[in-house]
């Protein structure tokens, strides 16, 4: 009894329980147990980090007390810049850094608007979500652009962003793990992490203790922006092209992932372990349901349901353990 209590006192433990349950359920109930088929897992490993990496950043931002809905547009915007740079004859590596830079700038803009206007970031980034998508549609004329010739299969950049470590482990999973480790060190061991938690938990106290809370928030917005830029390049290289519809719906899926990972919507509460598991859980729900022949269009309903049920579960556990 005591041990179960201890286990549940960690916020991410309920996420772990849900995650393991889902894996078991899908493994048993998918036709021919195709869910645990290694080809399915390898395919999943190629796909989920696109969203997963962004969700890691969103988690950090949410702990800091802010949201970023604009990721759904910042991602394709960076992807467009990446493709354009290569078409303008820059090397993939240069284009990659330009894409990260653009991501950082778009994050900076979100941060500055939010901090200076003191508006909820839910509103400011809803605005930039629609704004950047509009600009992107006009600028790109919604035409897909192939980048296959610039990053052909087997080229160094392609291998780095969309290759395979071995037969089972795609390189995207490694990137996801690297970012999770970096952000985990930042949040839990670095002093900046303490500033992020303090800012999200009690902004007045953090301010009174001399922490530059505005700057902390802006940097968190920029972390999300850079991760969007990274994910944009990774996705474009995998797809071999830029498409104006990349990243649609990422904003809410990323927030769902963080909420399922036990991150509080009010800031100050959350852990990288939880966010990591949340970022794995959302794509698993997606994938498992598809394999169980649930119509694609119904999946959104399940993710919505899962998010609400999970918050309820978490609140319940919190009341029980306190």
Binding stretches for other proteins (CB under 8 A) = 185, 189-195, 197-198, 201-202, 204-212, 268-269, 322
Packed helices 71-87 and 213-239: angle between N→C axes, nearest 10 degrees? 60
- Comparing CB distances to other proteins, the nearer of 176 and 195 is 195
- Nearest distance from residue 255's CB to other proteins, in Å? 19
- Comparing CB distances to other proteins, the nearer of 191 and 293 is 191
- Comparing CB distances to other proteins, the nearer of 124 and 271 is 271
- Nearest distance from residue 213's CB to other proteins, in Å? 10
Residue 239: burial class (beta carbons within 10 Å; 0-12, 13-18, 19+): middle
- Comparing CB distances to other proteins, the nearer of 139 and 192 is 192
Instruction: Return the closest-CA partner of residue 157 out of 93, 219, 104, 73.
Output: 93
- Nearest distance from residue 115's CB to other proteins, in Å? 15
Q: Are 200 and 271 in contact (CB under 8 A)?
A: no
Q: Are 125 and 220 in contact (CB under 8 A)?
A: no
User: What tokens appear for 66 in the block?
Assistant: 């802010």
Which helix (DSSP H) or strand (DSSP E) does residue 146 occupy?
Answer: strand 145-146
- Nearest distance from residue 203's CB to other proteins, in Å? 9
- Comparing CB distances to other proteins, the nearer of 49 and 193 is 193
- Comparing CB distances to other proteins, the nearer of 210 and 295 is 210
- Nearest distance from residue 34's CB to other proteins, in Å? 42
Q: What is the DSSP string of 209-256?
A: TT--HHHHHHHHHHHHHHHHHHHHHHHHHHHTEE-TTTTTTHHHHHHH
User: What tokens appear for 96 in the block?
Assistant: 């990659």
* CA pair distance 86, 93, nearest whole angstrom: 9
- Comparing CB distances to other proteins, the nearer of 205 and 248 is 205
Beta-bridged to residue 49, according to DSSP, are: none
Conformational region of residue 141, where left means phi above 0, alpha means psi within -120 to 50, and beta covers everything else: left
- Whose tokens are 């991501």? That residue is 103
- Nearest distance from residue 258's CB to other proteins, in Å? 16
- Nearest distance from residue 211's CB to other proteins, in Å? 5
């Amino acid at each position: 009894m005591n041990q179960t209590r201890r286990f549940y006192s960690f916020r991410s433990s309920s996420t772990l329980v849900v995650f393991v349950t889902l894996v078991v359920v899908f493994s048993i109930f998918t036709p021919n147990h195709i869910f645990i088929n290694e080809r399915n897992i390898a395919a999943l490993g190629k796909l989920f980090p696109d969203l997963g990496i962004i969700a890691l950043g969103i988690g950090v931002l949410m702990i800091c007390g802010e949201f970023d809905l604009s990721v759904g547009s910042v991602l394709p915007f960076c992807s467009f810049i990446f493709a354009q740079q290569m078409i303008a004859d820059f090397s993939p590596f240069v284009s990659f850094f330009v894409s990260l830079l653009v991501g950082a700038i778009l994050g900076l803009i979100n941060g500055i608007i939010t901090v200076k206007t003191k508006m909820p970031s839910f509103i400011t980034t809803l605005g930039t979500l629609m704004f950047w998508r509009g600009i992107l549609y006009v600028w790109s004329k919604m035409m897909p652009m192939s980048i296959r010739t610039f990053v052909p299969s087997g080229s160094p950049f392609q291998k780095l962003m969309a290759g395979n470590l071995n037969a089972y482990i795609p390189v995207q999973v490694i990137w996801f793990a690297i970012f999770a480790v970096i952000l985990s060190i930042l949040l839990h061991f670095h002093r900046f992490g303490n500033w992020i938690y303090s800012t999200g938990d009690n902004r007045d106290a953090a301010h009174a203790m001399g922490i530059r809370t505005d700057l902390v928030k802006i940097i968190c917005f920029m972390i999300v922006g850079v991760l969007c830029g990274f994910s944009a390049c990774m996705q474009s290289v995998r797809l071999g092209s830029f498409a104006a519809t990349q990243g649609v719906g990422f904003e809410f899926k990323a927030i769902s992932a963080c909420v399922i990972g036990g991150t509080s919507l009010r800031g100050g509460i959350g852990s990288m372990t939880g966010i990591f598991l949340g970022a794995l859980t959302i794509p698993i729900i997606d994938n498992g349901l598809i394999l169980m022949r649930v119509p694609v269009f119904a999946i959104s309903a399940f993710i919505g349901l899962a998010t609400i049920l999970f918050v309820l579960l978490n609140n319940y556990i919190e009341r029980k353990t306190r």
